[in-house]
Structures are given as C-alpha cells and as structure tokens.
Structure 1
C-alpha cells in the first residue's frame, strides 16, 4: 500500500512556483489536487521601510541574494526532489523588471537542468486563479482585482480568457490606501496600518467623496478621494492626534469600500443580461485582505444572489503558491513556454481592452530612486 501511495504521489501533477515581481521573494510547491506542500515568502519590508516605498534596485538585489535558498527551503518542506516535479512556473510579469528577471532566470535554469516544462505566469493571472486553488470556483466568474498597482473588474471565462469590464482611470485603490496612510503619518506598509487605525475611528466623522458613485460603467477613480483626505489633514495640527488619524482612516476606508461596491454592482447588472450564468464574485490581490472591504462586498453579493469568494489573507498578498497553481492550470492545457521567453514589465490580462482605457493600469517601470508603495500588490 505504501508503494502504491508513493507512486500515485509521483504521478500527480506537482509544480514549483517562483514569485519575484515586487518586494516579496517566494517559492512554493502545489499539487494538482490543491495541496500546498510548501509556501515560503520572504518579505523585504525592513529593507524598503527607510525609503517609504519599494526601491527597485534594492528589491532586485534581495531577490538575487535569497531566491536559491528559498527554492531549496520550499523543496525541503515539501519533502520532494526536482525529479518529482511536473514543471517550473515563475512570474513573467508584470512587475519591477529587475525582480521579474531574477525569478524567470532561476526557473529557466531549473527547468533546463532537470528537463522540465517552463511556465511563464502572468502575475495578475496568479491572483485571478487563486480562488480556484482555495475554493475550486468554476468558470465563469466576476473578478475584482485590487492591489497596490491594479484595480480592475474582469469577467474570467477560463485560463487565459479575461474580459476587462473596468479599470482605474487614475490611482489603484491600494496606492490610494498607501498614500493616504503616509499623509496621515501612519507607519509603513501603509495599507495594513490604515486598516488597523480605522478600527478605532468613526467612519462617519468626515463626509468624503465616493468616487464614480452613481455613474454608469465599471471604471474606478481614487485620486479625488485621496486629495480630499489631504485637504482635511493639512488643516489639522501636526503631528495628527491619534483619534484624528483613526477617524480619517475609517472615513477614507468607508468611502473606498463604497466605491468598490458601486462599481461591482454595475458589473453585476451588466452581466445579468449578457452572462446570466455568472453568479460568483471573487476578490483577489493584496487589498482583498482588508476586512471592511470584504464585509461590504459580502453584503453586495447577498443582495444580488451572488456567492462571494475571497482567498485567505496569506494568499491575497504576493505569494508563490498562486504562481504554482496558475502553472498547473496552464500545464493541464499544454500552455508551456520556451526558454526564450522575455520577462515583461507590463502584461495586461485583456490586451484587446488596453486601447479603450484612458490610462494603462499595469505597474509602471520605476526610474526614480524610490517606487511608491503602489508597487506592492
């Protein structure tokens, strides 16, 4: 019986995933039957904290310093050798290009040495498919992808099949969280600090704008909300009293959540006629770990007869388990990549929709000394 079980384990599809798109260096082993055998994440928060944002050069060097050790650790925790793997998946973009190159070259090297398929995974597709790893969500579904660098609503019809319904016309919601936190004098990283401060605040204290509320369509906007917070904060004494920080944080968070709910409601209404089979809303990306936003979206789904699915917080922020799983999804379909694959700083999920957008929403290539916190996802 033991030999039979071991043989079945070897025959199962098992993929090593590598994630290096921003400031987390990560490696994970995931199986076809949705087991996460290891999921190692090394954050670079301490390295970037003095700069108040992600410095691309520092991030790339850190990935280079740690990636080999983390891959070895992931393999050891999974109790596997490279001969047990079915493929090697790595984030091929979008992201800070120095880091993406480190992950791609590491994955290509392992694939070449061990004669394994190489899979270049779109970082956004990793987020988009995480709910299928955690909850076995069936296609099609509505996806709200919210992170530091991205804010999009997409119809997910299958692996590699994404229709963009709306995106931000200015800031991503995660960028707005991070920059608002900085204005309020909250510590880095901004998004989690703002959520924590908001727990002690009064969300009705400040009448902040709800961007795009009541407008048709599914596009987002957060720059006006951020500016409104800045005007209030500048009129208050410095440093901001703790309660003022909390009240502004709570008011901002409530306004952002209301805007997200409104845009998702419009998407549900639009899909009711064209895709009535869509009855699930998935939220993914780093901002998906925010509990106020989860609660607001849960209420929206209850009102519209939708199921609500959000991965556990540890799988909302950048991780390699989602990359390994996306690799499995692609490997099942024979969608492997050659070793000549070129890492991409920009890689939209729905390339056909880019020309229709007022502004591209992929992470920009940073040329300044410090990338803003929005580079995080």
Structure 2
C-alpha cells in the first residue's frame, strides 16, 4: 500500500510517501519538510496567519517533490492522507483541502488523520512495535502519557495540567534571549552549563497520578534569571542546564508513574515509546532509555527526522487506517482540538 501524507498543522509544510507491506515496519520513500523558522523567529513563536499563508505558497511544490523523490505518480497511490487536526486551524484547512482535492482528482480513498495519532503510530512505521505500548507524546503543544492499544484505541493515562514540555522549553529560551525554536537552543547551551548551580523544583515528582506541571518550573527559572541579571553567557548556560536537568528528572519520574498505571490495567507494555518534537532531546532520550531498562522493555524513539512534524507519520497513520477499511468522506471538517482520548483527561488538563 502506497500512501501520500500531508502535514500542515503548525509551521512545517510537509509531504511524504510511505509503503505499508504488512505488520512489520514500513518504508519511507520520500519525506519533504519545509520549515518556517525564519518567518516566525522575530516573534519568538508561531504566528498563525503567517504560517497559513506560507503553507499555501509552499504546499504544491512540497507535494510534487515528495512524489518525485518517491518515484511515483498520483495514479500509483493507494490512498491520500492529510492531517485534519489538532492544530492551527488556518494551516489545517490548507493541508486538509489539498489532500481532499488530490484524492478526488485521482479517485483514491482519503484518510483524515489525527496529528496526535500519527505521532503515536510512528514507532510502528520505524520499528514495527506491537500493540499495546506505553507512549510519551511530548511536543510544543502536547504532553501526554498514553496506552496505545491499537489503531484508533488510546487511553490517556496522564497529561500536562498547564504548559506542554516543548512549550516550556520555548518559553525559557525566549526569556533568556535564545533563538526560536527554543528546545534545541536550550539543549545546546545546557551542554556547557552547571546543572547544580540553581536549585529548581521538580513539579509533581513522586505523585501517583502520572500528570505533569511545568509552569512552576518555568517561573522558577524566570525568578532566578531576574535575581542573577544582568546575565552573562555562563549564567545562561547554567540556567539552561539546571532547567533541563529538572525537566529530565520530571519526565523520568512521570513516565515511571505512567508505566505503573499501564501495568495495573494492561500488564507489561511491549515497549516504552517517545514521540513528538521533544523526543529529539538527547538527555530526555537517555533518561527514558534507563527507565525502559528498569522495566525490562525496549525504548523506541523515532530517528530525529521523524521526531518533529512530518508527512511520513501522516502517511503511515493513513495507511494503517486504510488497511482497516477506515475511509473518510471528503466533507470531513478541520478540528483545531481533537484529543485522542478526551474521556480520560485529567480535570483542568489541556486536551
């Protein structure tokens, strides 16, 4: 099964072609991503109107390159998938409308993909991970611990009560005058810093319920920065190192709580999986590798090219759904909010 996937939920215009041949890993035939970092850098974050216009300008060329790189024509595809949410609605509309048009013109089945489900299923594309598995989904907009039971079957075990992990990295980077996106900048500066200089809190550490809270940690960084100002380069390095060390401790502790909650309901997971943009952070990956070793299960993280938003994950999720006969109508509406498992959301938590 060959599927074209389109992703436009935030500030990456992406398209890819993947092949699904059975229950094992898939094959990425092409994966084209056009980022918009320069367009948003001056604002310290993504501006929805700018992102939507950039998607309009770029998407036709990105799709054409994805097909050319894969060496296939539109007629050779078995289906078309597009992210239908959650995300910035202007961008979602651009990709979703284009995906529908391509499916209509080529007379191919269409799949409207949940962006979060695409992240959740990436480990099956890359490693053929069997259900059920424990997933930490961590990005700029989402932080969730999920039991992934099957395609379309997700139980949210824990989530953030305020900031997402990637959002916290970006906000700390902005307050310290670092570039956008903030996560890679904080990780880079932390590598040269002293993580023990500043005593930052570990919010929710030790709680039984596997939820996250990052706003208090972010505030603690701001207060220390204000007390230390004016900041020199060493101060910035140390603040980044202390913040990242606190985040790593929190992630490992919360994931351990998630593993206990998973085991109570479903037994041992087949793997501990981390996905989303924050999965590219080296110290977080190392901490989760250690936790997986304690649990006696493999830790699976996508290659760096598939950690951020990309078309390959959309194409794969579409292929998984289409293989089960799950075809969507062309009147499927964009969904700015689309939780995988709203019923299990913690009180007051972000969807």
Q: Does residue 242 of the first structure (1) align with residue 242 of the second (2)?
A: no
Q: 1:337 aligns with which of 328, 331, 341?
A: 328
Q: Distance in 2 between matches of 1:78 and 1:169?
A: 41
The aligned runs of 1:343-354 (5 Å cut-off) are 343-354=334-345
Q: Distance in 1 between matches of 2:303 and 2:350?
A: 29
Q: 1:184 aligns with which of 161, 176, 184?
A: 176
Q: 2:317 aligns with which of 319, 326, 341?
A: 326
> Helix, strand or coil: the match of 1:358?
coil
Q: Distance in 2 between matches of 1:218 and 1:98?
A: 33
What's the CA shift for 1:233?
A: 0.2
Which residue number corresponds to residue 257 of structure 1? 248
CA contact (8 A) 2:84 2:335 kept: yes
Q: Distance in 2 between matches of 1:241 and 1:61?
A: 38
Which residue number corresponds to residue 151 of structure 1? 143
Q: 2:269 aligns with which of 278, 290, 313?
A: 278
Give the TM-score normalised by structure 1. 0.91
Which residue number corresponds to residue 100 of structure 1? 92
What's the CA shift for 1:307?
A: 1.3
CA contact (8 A) 1:23 1:44 kept: yes
Q: 2:36 aligns with which of 27, 44, 47?
A: 44
Q: Distance in 2 between matches of 1:360 and 1:146?
A: 13
Please say which of residues 95-104 and 207-216 is displaced more in the overlay: 207-216
Q: Which ranges in structure 1 are unaligned for 5 or more consecutive residues?
A: 1-12, 362-377
Please say which of residues 339-348 and 183-192 is displaced more in the overlay: 183-192
Which residue number corresponds to residue 161 of structure 1? 153
The aligned runs of 1:284-295 (5 Å cut-off) are 284-295=275-286
Q: 2:304 aligns with which of 310, 313, 321?
A: 313
Which residue number corresponds to residue 91 of structure 1? 83
Give the TM-score normalised by structure 2. 0.97
What's the CA shift for 1:216?
A: 1.4
- Encode CA deviations 1:128-185: one digit per residue, 9 max, x unaligned: 0000000110000000000000000000000000000010011111111110111111
CA contact (8 A) 2:171 2:182 kept: yes
Which residue number corresponds to residue 11 of structure 2? 23
Runs of 4+ in 1 over 2 A off after TM superposition: 270-274
Q: Does residue 141 of the first structure (1) align with residue 133 of the second (2)?
A: yes
Say how many residue pairs are matched.
Answer: 347
Q: Distance in 2 between matches of 1:126 and 1:266?
A: 24
CA contact (8 A) 1:279 1:305 kept: no
Q: 1:113 aligns with which of 105, 113, 132?
A: 105
CA contact (8 A) 2:144 2:160 kept: yes
